Structure 1
């Protein structure tokens, strides 16, 4: 079981705070450091000091870490022109020595689009654009060096592109797709995904969606086993009830709710819950959503008392 740390910096975090979490992630032995790609806080928090850009953050971390993989859950297709995004991600892959995983979604959070004047098309057009972007970005990366790339879609057109720079990972960085859409999401995952992620879903919901992705892969003669199954769950682990309650309060959540919907409890309880979730869904990778970025002991506790029992 790969364990990855997943952060939500739009809730309020500086680059230096993210760097401390990333270095702790690496030193503690976790597989990867991931962050969301949002420009506006959610819920009853101030979001101060304001958002940090996902790919600028990951570029910095690429030079200040050496082992962990780096990525987004997930970059919104509405935020950046796909050709520019392909260049940025390829550069971060180079800067990290080939440690980038590219999480990519259609975009959804209307308030952040309004707040920063970013267009958010209606759902059908948004997914049409998203599908074209997946074709375009992967096409740029996979074009052999010395050849050019052309693309003519309804929303995007590229002509005689040198398709540079190239990522270190060949033919491209792993692509992560996720979500609960019943038709287009599984079809796009079957075509483009190296990993399919279900965030904050109960085992039954996750299994149903994983089965849809597998069916879509078989429909195009792709082996479903090529697509890694992963999940994301909020983390709240403590050595005793008092520590669990303190950590829940620090993120504005109730312990009972977190026990139902997240990875909450003592290390032994969390080990058991992860084991049952893995058995029911077939996941081999888990993103631990860490919401209090000042509590580095939380990560160290999981690394010392949970992770060794999962492999």
Structure 2
């Protein structure tokens, strides 16, 4: 099972703090470092030093890491025009030597859009679908040809489809818990289907829906990676678990129920249960970006024992 580190820098983290965590994750052997694409703190607390842009940050990390994969979970379709997003992702892919992955979603945080002055349409799923079609279409446009698109939300005319990513295919992460449209979108565009913070008893039924959508589309469902994201709160003893829970404003009991929390043995049991229902990749949401020792503990006591 792949273990990836996932952060929420809008809660208050500088670029240097993100860099330190990404570099530590790389040194420890984690598969990837992903971050959210948000510009406004959620909940109470000190928002300093302020937000950082996801793709600007990933561009910097691309030049200051060498192995670890980098991506968003997930970029919001409301923040990014697909023609520009295709250029941004391709450029960061080149800057990283081919280590970028693109998670793309509809966006959901209305207050954030109001704070930024960014439109927040009530219906956004069609925007996401058109963005996925445009981004993948631009990257697939052969040299010497052009790409045009005439959609409900976006129109592109005679785009050269440049620059190209370094990777032949940039992995696309599609997520969500919708029972019909999201599985079909994942079957059409994704290399990975992700469920972020789902109820644990809903994971297997949703994976089954995505697999069925792949079969309906004539695609082998085993081509997709099935992943989940959960808050991580691991401690060598209960005192350490409580300290880490306090640092992120959560309760250990709630984290055990809804995340991956407790002793290393408890977290290994949780990962084992996920593997049994078909999950092969887990994003460990580490909310305290100053706690690099948390990564050390997870690497030593959890990742080292995961096959």
Please give the TM-score of this superposition, normalised by the length of structure 1.
0.97
1:101-135 Cα shifts (integer Å, max 9, x gaps): 10000111100000000001112xx1111111110
1:236 paired residue among 230, 233, 236: 233
Structure-2 residue corresponding to 1:219: 216
Match of 2:133 in 1: 135
State the Cα distance separating 1:148 from its structure 2 match. 1.1
1:257 is matched with which residue: 247, 254, 259?
254
Where structure 2 has 5 or more consecutive residues not aligned to the other structure, the ranges are none
Task: Tell me by how many angstroms 1:144 deviates.
Answer: 1.5
Q: CA RMSD in A?
A: 0.8
Alpha-carbon displacement from aligned partner over 1:228-250 (angstroms, at most 9, x marks no partner): 00000100000101101000000
Measure the CA separation in 1 of the matches of 2:39 and 2:155.
27
Post-superposition CA distance 1:51-106 (Å, at most 9, x none) = 00000000000000000000000000000111001000000000000000100001
Task: Report Cα offsets for 1:226-272 as digits up to 9, x if no partner.
Answer: 11000001000001011010000000001111111111111111111
Please state if 1:150 is matched with 2:148. Answer: yes
C-alpha deviation, 1:203, in angstroms? 3.0
1: distance between equivalents of 2:136 and 2:40?
28
Q: CA deviation at 1:145?
A: 2.0
Q: Following the alignment from structure 1 to structure 2, what is the Cα–Cα distance between the partners of residues 103 and 247?
A: 28
Rounded Cα–Cα distance in structure 2 between residues aligned with 1:201 and 1:27: 30
Q: Secondary structure at the match of 2:188?
A: helix
Deviation of residue 45 (structure 1)?
A: 2.1
Equivalent position of 1:285 in the other structure:
281
Please list every run of at least 4 consecutive aligned residues from structure 1 whose deviation after the TM superposition is greater than 2 angstroms.
Answer: none
Per the TM alignment, residue 184 of structure 1 is displaced from its structure 2 partner at its CA by 1.1
Q: Write the distance in 1 (CA, Å) between the matches of 2:201 and 2:258.
A: 13
Kindly indicate whether the alpha-carbon contact (under 8 Å) linking 2:200 and 2:258 is maintained by their aligned counterparts in 1: no
Secondary structure class of the residue paired with 2:283: strand
The residue aligned with 1:5 is: 5
Distance 2:289 2:232 in 1: 12
Secondary structure at the counterpart of residue 173 of structure 1: coil
- Residue 70 of structure 1 is matched in structure 2 by 70
Structure 1 gaps of 5+ residues are: none
TM-fit CA distance, 1:183: 1.4
Give the Å deviation of 1:42.
0.5
Question: Partners of 1:112 and 1:263 in 2: how far apart?
Answer: 28
DSSP 3-state at the match of 2:295: helix
Name the SS of the counterpart of 1:122 in structure 2.
Answer: coil
Match for residue 300 of structure 1 among 293, 296, 306:
296
Secondary structure, aligned partner of 2:38: coil
Corresponding residue of 1:166: 164
